[in-house]
Chain A
């Protein structure tokens, strides 16, 4: 798809190939990309913006993505009459004329997309004189002139007939091509004929001149003329032997030397194109495309491929066009169509050229510096290159580097010049190098070292001269280093090696000066302002929820402008810190930044900033705060540190594919983005057939089942179509514009019947949106049962039915009413009798109710007491156990302190003894603390709050509390699930719950036994299984164990409320309890609670 166009600038006067050349990347449209043939004869752009490409094998309409091909079809009279397209013309009505070699003329109607054929009819003298068409031309009076093998003719649009203009012809039956036409400022039409030569005539007067020239020494008649261009009294004549200039006023003729390379012959000119900026582009048959600058006569040759030698077909160019966006389209014979944007000529791009020592040393550019001589120094991932712009020469430094033992390769991260004119190179893990101009080599600076420093000192990422001879080095591991090159002192900035909190700012990406001995630094931990005098450090970070804070903590680049406002480039957008307020503004990709990752900020003129980002270069106008993308030849990402504001404002940026530089003043931007056009429409997966061409369609009307619509479109932005973005708005479905990205089609499926209007906008290569929208109405008719008429009919029928039913009901109702009235009277009497009886009973019931309420409240009181007594009982059980558990550690503590005391009093204690005693005391404290922590959870019972509880911890606390009971009796087997499940619960109650269950398990075990505690998470529930191998519960008791007051213990030993309370606690937590038990085998309590 892409080829490289190399331009050799040829010195007009000296006739030698200029050493300067530039390499650019552009598009190639060929068979591979859908073109019908690689032999292109003619190329034009129509007023919509489509590129029409006439080839030896059909006609193509290119929209930037796809080519639509028009070919001859013997069964379709509306198809192209012949596939050999020679000449193309868009007339003033926007229709396309297609001249063919042998098939006559075709007229494409831009509105309907239909083709009308015009062909020679030997019986009709007003038909086309010949089917061999050489050239088409429309004059200022909108007359269409056709050059044919039988000479010139004129098309009459009213009669649709052709009129021969053969006043100059001496043999009417002979073949002679009218090869080219051009109108001069007097209204004369100049015609080149391959037999009769050059002449002109006045179309109104019909008077012919004699063939030219009469007085010149150059016999024009011998030359075969292919093209004529008239420009301000001068006629440019492209011949088979070069370019000739005819001054029509003075009647003088000049040979214009456009091709002075002595190795090639005079150019055979095919076509010419007059550019507005007074450049003439000349297509030659063997020498490629030649650019001729009229002002100074300078010429340059553009070849489609630098590897193609002279005379090869791809050097054979047939037509040339400059479109509205300054794209240069070059039609070739054999290599398809090449596109190259002329504005990109301002960019120079340099990279590695394999096997060429005069090229960049390594493509991964990470540091750039332009010195006072104009040399550009490039630090790469493998050495340094110095580039001399004037001589286009590279000097590469790899062998001359000394490398540290650990340095795998000289990965340069910074190149800078200190005030004493020393050029420094900082490398990743290789330390700091100095350039020695006398030896023209780099040497490692042995003074940049520190005795106890680790290798991170040598990971140099950025640098700044903070005072004369004093460098601040931002490292990739130990923050900021201060290196005094006069005293050779190296220390951590901010007051020495030990005082810095290196965790704060490990990797420093950039350092700039604020003024007054204050410096800004950027790191992954935000923006810092360091006062070098006081060592005071202020830090700014992103504050969530505060849009006036820094946009991101990962700061990559800094620039302080003339208002002292600070621009901060981060990994996630751009911030501007307003000096007066200290508040930050934020800018992101939505505002037009090429990428959210900003590696470099450079000042430009007129309030512009150049932003080097991970997706190329963006220009920011700080007055309007508008961003414009700059399409560099290296449109891949740029890289960290690889930017330089060079001499005279030159912007130099680098990245993974070398470096680019340009003068910002030479850049021009497209003023507006062109209007998007619709290029294809499919309904229910088939191309939609309409009376109009898709691009001209304004309305489509569809049936309810034609509701799958795919529409393709193009912004007709041929440069960098991979970056052309679209947004759309389907009125009737969407509420707002939707960003569609770079896809150039839209699909709507199952659209409901209704009225819609689609709007589409496109962006140009700088990120500007088109002002005018492409739009189309889409009307989907409802099915017959969905129409209003049908709906009204249904409603009417229903209404009639309802009214009928209503009347029927009313008469029935009246009859029933009468019957009912009689019955009611009878019943009322009976009811009164029954009522009297009931009233008597009611009094008795009321007394009973009062009694019941009283006993219920007594019962509640008793229940509360019992619940409390259960708590107290379990607390009692606990305190006994805990007492024992806590006294052991207390014994440790006391024993320890007495041990030390007596030892000291007797003076027979040594350090080891004391240490041992202290260990014992600490062990006592540790155990006591553990018990108290567990106990504190249990005592939180009164608290009703639900919090996030860690069940494993709660079980462990309960186990600690019960340790006294379990010790020497029960072996605990824990199998906790790997994640620590949280539940929403009451901490105290959960402790009571597990204490109860575990305590029950322990009590069920007679002698020694085991308790298994398993937890798992299933379907967002936490499952806890506590299984003992104790006595189990007899089958008859199993249904009752959860009942309050059920107990298997002797009176006084338990309240029988334990499991009941456990059950209540689980229910309060939205859980379930299941008890599986086998008498004499064991019991499993299965608790299921919702996990968080």
Chain B
């Protein structure tokens, strides 16, 4: 088994197609868990709380948007890395979430696999250094 597979990533997006793409783009590197809503994301986090170290969430979702979901998640799982993957805008909501260290960083769609991989690896290295 590949060493890097030890990293488990949770990806939350309400578009099934996006989940499929994400999973296929990263599953050879990481163990990818997906959820199609904030609520499901919270549930998956609880199920895999010892595995998931990176959470990437879409911004625009029904009921709970990306920042709202991460805010909730962080209340319970504060030790992991949270990123937003947004369609377009760098809204005030994202801006203040980054300023308040709720979210580490945001990516835009269409996503750049290298950029995301690099960020994840940097983050994991950061943990390992700690």
Contact = CB atoms under 8 A, between A and B. Distances in A.
Nearest to B85: A891
A880 interface: yes
A899 B110 contact: no
Given A884-B60, A887-B109, A968-B60, A898 B25 contact: yes
Interface in A846-899: 880, 883-885, 887-888, 890-896, 898-899
Contacts of B15: 888
Given A891-B109, A899-B25, A968-B62, A884 B17 contact: no
Contact of B18 (A883, A884, A895, A964): A895
Contact of A880 (B21, B88, B110): B88
A391 interface: no
A827 interface: no
A967 B20 CA distance: 21
A920 interface: yes
Contact of A892 (B21, B28, B62, B113): B21
Contacts of B18: 888, 891-892, 895
Contact of A883 (B17, B62, B87, B111): B87
A898 B113 contact: yes
A896 B110 CA distance: 11
B89 A920 contact: no
Given A880-B89, A888-B87, A895 B63 contact: no
A888 B17 CA distance: 10
A916 B62 CA distance: 26
Contacts of B62: 967-968
B70 to A, nearest CB: 17
B60 A967 contact: yes
Interface in A645-700: none
Contacts of B113: 898
B71 to A, nearest CB: 17
A895 B24 contact: yes
Contact of B87 (A884, A899, A902, A916): A884
A249 B87 CA distance: 129
A600 B2 CA distance: 89
A923 interface: yes
Contact of B88 (A884, A896, A899, A967): A884
Nearest to B58: A888
Contacts of B89: 880, 883-884
Interface string B55-90: 000001111000000000000000000000011110
Interface in B15-67: 15, 17-18, 20-22, 24-25, 28, 60-63
A880 B86 CA distance: 12
Contacts of A891: 18, 21, 109-111
B108 interface: yes
Interface in A721-737: none
Contacts of A894: 110-111
Contacts of A964: 60
A82 B83 CA distance: 125
Contacts of A883: 87-89
A1058 B62 CA distance: 29
Given A883-B87, A884-B89, A890 B20 contact: no
User: Per DSSP, are chain B's interface residues mostly helix, strand or loop, or mixed?
Assistant: loop
A896 B18 CA distance: 10
Given A883-B87, A887-B108, A891-B110, A899 B63 contact: no
**Chain A contact surface mostly:** helix
B110 A890 contact: yes
A639 to B, nearest CB: 65
Contacts of A890: 109-110
Interface in B97-130: 108-111, 113
B17 A920 contact: yes
A893 B110 contact: yes
Contacts of B61: 968
Contacts of A896: 21
A887 B25 contact: no
Between A890, A891, A899, A968, the greatest number of chain B beta carbons within 10 A of the residue's beta carbon is seen for A891
Contacts of B86: 884
A923 B89 CA distance: 22
A883 B22 CA distance: 20
Contacts of A887: 87-88, 108-110
A902 B24 CA distance: 9
Contacts of A920: 17, 20-21
A884 B113 CA distance: 19
Contacts of B110: 887, 890-891, 893-895
Interface in A920-935: 920, 923-924
A884 B66 CA distance: 14
A1079 B122 CA distance: 53
Contacts of B20: 895, 916, 920
A884 B63 CA distance: 18
A902 B25 CA distance: 8
A895 B87 contact: no
Contacts of A968: 60-63
Contacts of A902: 24-25, 28
Contacts of B111: 891, 894
A815 B86 CA distance: 97
Contacts of B63: 968
A899 to B, nearest CB: 5
Nearest to B62: A968
Contact of B17 (A892, A898, A906): A892
B116 to A, nearest CB: 12
Nearest to B20: A920
A898 B17 CA distance: 14
Contacts of A967: 60, 62
Please indicate which of the listed interface residues A893, A895, A968 has the most CB atoms of chain B within 10 Å of its own CB: A895
A899 B109 contact: no
A732 to B, nearest CB: 83
Contacts of B22: 895
A898 B20 CA distance: 12
A886 to B, nearest CB: 8
A897 to B, nearest CB: 10
A899 B60 contact: no
Contacts of B109: 887-888, 890-891
A1052 to B, nearest CB: 13
30 contacts: A880-B89, A884-B86, A884-B88, A884-B89, A887-B88, A887-B108, A888-B15, A888-B87, A888-B109, A890-B109, A890-B110, A891-B18, A891-B109, A891-B110, A891-B111, A892-B17, A893-B110, A894-B110, A895-B18, A895-B21, A895-B110, A896-B21, A898-B113, A899-B24, A902-B28, A916-B20, A920-B21, A967-B60, A968-B60, A968-B63
Given A887-B109, A906-B28, 15 more contacts: A884-B86, A884-B88, A884-B89, A887-B108, A888-B15, A888-B18, A890-B110, A891-B21, A891-B110, A894-B110, A895-B18, A895-B20, A895-B110, A899-B21, A899-B25
Lowest 10 CB-CB distances: which A-B pairs, in order? Answer: A895-B21, A884-B87, A883-B88, A968-B62, A894-B110, A884-B88, A891-B110, A891-B109, A887-B109, A887-B87
